């Protein structure tokens, strides 16, 4: 799927390739840097970007082309796609050195289903900006639409190599058919064992398996777990009525997560890959945590264990505070069962900070990950068939 704004800005949030949304069009902000809305108040996106943009940018070689480019951005954000397309084209006719103009026009062509035109524009973007992760990724997506899988895979590999320098990208990007589901599961395990956050897409006629693209991972060390006063009072009043169960409600939690958050991450192929790890001789396995209040399921979490690390992928809650209670009890359970830490996945949100999580850059996380997932880290003994309350 086409990349969304968080992919473009690289602000430390999760980079899940999703369908194009209106705000995806802020590609130009990648040059401008992250925009601090508290600093710039009610200024337009154009003013914010201009304030942050280097005066050496190609956007300032031709002032009229630059003006039309930013006009195209504003038109797109207002939903006037056709006018934005025409405006970008006028900008390119005046000056064809603005890579962002080609990329943004390519996104519009892709949204209109005009793959050939989109590929041409993404290719031109790459010629102007050879290190454009977004252009390689989005061109790969258009090749997938055309079932040109060799070209698509090459572009995805190039994009991954740009995003994760030093990694062997060919080993962590794969495209599979419906008849290759067993191979897809094994490939997904390889990605996880290499310390990456798994992403499985099945929006087209195939299954794309790759890492999720983000800069920062949220890690919760158990001695840093912070339980706020409100939650402490809640547990004091209702603690005895809660029960945490492990590996008992996988399907129910998946269904509830899909209802609450959609299926952008929790695609059917992702669920099949995770289920395929169950009961096999892999070093990874799926885990589910269920929180019950008075014998009723009120919250849950789905993730994957590798060695002594549990990585949370998605969760849901039905009642106020039940999500936080579930995470606290889950953390206590993991600590008591000799896990090293809780991996909360991409992005260090304010909620994760309040719980005591810290942000960790990818290369640093991988070193810590391999320390606790080596061959001596026997994970099978860490699963007592019991609840926890």
Q: Decide: helix, strand or coil at residue 377.
A: coil
Q: What is the pLDDT of residues 120-163, one digit of tens each?
A: 999 999 999 999 999 999 999 999 999 999 999 999 999 999 99
Instruction: Please provide the average confidence, as pLDDT, over all residues in the chain.
Output: 83
pLDDT at 48 over 60: no
Q: What is the CA radius of gyration of the chain?
A: 23
What is the model's pTM?
Answer: 0.80
Long-range contacts of 187-191 (CB under 8 A, 24+ apart): 188/273, 188/274, 188/276, 188/277, 189/277, 189/282, 189/283, 189/284
**C-alpha span between 7 and 162 (Å, rounded):** 13
Residue 298: which of 289, 307, 306 has the closest Cα? 289
Q: What is the pLDDT of residues 199-220, one digit of tens each?
A: 999 888 899 999 999 989 999 9
Backbone angles phi, psi at 317, to 5 degrees: -150, 145
Q: Which residues does 297 contact at the CB level (< 8 Å), separation at least 6?
A: 249, 252, 256, 290, 291, 318
Burial of 128 (0-12, 13-18, 19+ CB in 10 A): middle
Q: Which residues does 109 contact at the CB level (< 8 Å), separation at least 6?
A: 85, 115, 117, 118, 121
Kindly provide the residue ranges of all beta strands, DSSP E only, lying in the chain, ordered along the sequence. 174-176, 198-201, 207-211, 216-220, 242-246, 284-293, 296-306, 309-317, 341-346, 358-361
**C-alpha span between 157 and 149 (Å, rounded):** 12
**C-alpha span between 76 and 118 (Å, rounded):** 16
- Could you give the domains of the chain? 5-129 (1.25.40.10), 216-382 (3.40.630.70)
């Amino acid at each position: 799927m086409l990349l969304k704004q968080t992919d473009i800005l690289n602000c430390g949030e999760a980079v899940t390739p999703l369908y194009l949304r209106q705000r995806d069009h802020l590609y130009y902000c990648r040059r401008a840097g992250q925009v601090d809305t508290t600093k710039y108040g009610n200024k337009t996106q154009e003013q914010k970007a201009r304030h942050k943009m280097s005066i050496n940018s190609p956007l300032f070689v031709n002032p009229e082309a630059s003006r039309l480019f930013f006009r195209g951005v504003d038109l797109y954000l207002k939903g006037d796609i056709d006018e934005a397309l025409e405006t970008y084209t006028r900008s390119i006719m005046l000056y064809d050195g603005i890579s962002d103009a080609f990329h943004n026009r390519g996104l519009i062509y892709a949204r209109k289903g005009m793959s050939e035109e989109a590929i041409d524009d993404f290719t031109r973007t790459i010629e102007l900006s050879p290190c454009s992760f977004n252009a390689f990724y989005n061109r790969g997506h258009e090749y997938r639409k055309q079932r040109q899988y060799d070209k698509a895979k090459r572009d995805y590999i190039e994009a991954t190599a740009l995003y994760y320098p030093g990694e062997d990208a060919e080993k962590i990007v794969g495209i599979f058919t419906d008849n290759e589901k067993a191979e897809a599961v094994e490939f997904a395990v390889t990605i996880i064992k290499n310390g990456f956050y798994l992403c499985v897409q099945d929006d087209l006629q195939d299954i794309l398996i790759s890492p999720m693209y983000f800069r920062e991972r949220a890690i919760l060390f158990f001695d840093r777990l912070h339980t706020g006063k409100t939650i402490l009072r809640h547990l004091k009043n209702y603690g005895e009525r809660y029960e945490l169960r492990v590996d008992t409600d996988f399907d129910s939690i998946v269904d509830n997560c899909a209802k609450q958050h959609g299926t952008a991450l929790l695609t059917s192929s992702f669920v099949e890959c995770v289920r395929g790890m169950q009961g096999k001789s892999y070093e990874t396995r799926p885990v589910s945590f269920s929180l019950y209040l008075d014998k009723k399921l009120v919250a849950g979490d789905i993730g994957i264990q590798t060695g002594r690390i549990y990585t949370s992928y998605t969760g849901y809650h039905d009642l106020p505070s039940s999500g936080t209670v579930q995470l606290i009890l889950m953390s206590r359970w993991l600590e008591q069962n000799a896990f090293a830490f809780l991996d909360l996945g991409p992005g260090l949100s304010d909620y994760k900070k309040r719980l005591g999580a810290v942000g960790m850059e990818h290369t640093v996380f991988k070193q810590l990950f391999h320390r606790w997932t080596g061959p001596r880290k026997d994970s099978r003994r860490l699963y007592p068939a019991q609840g926890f309350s």
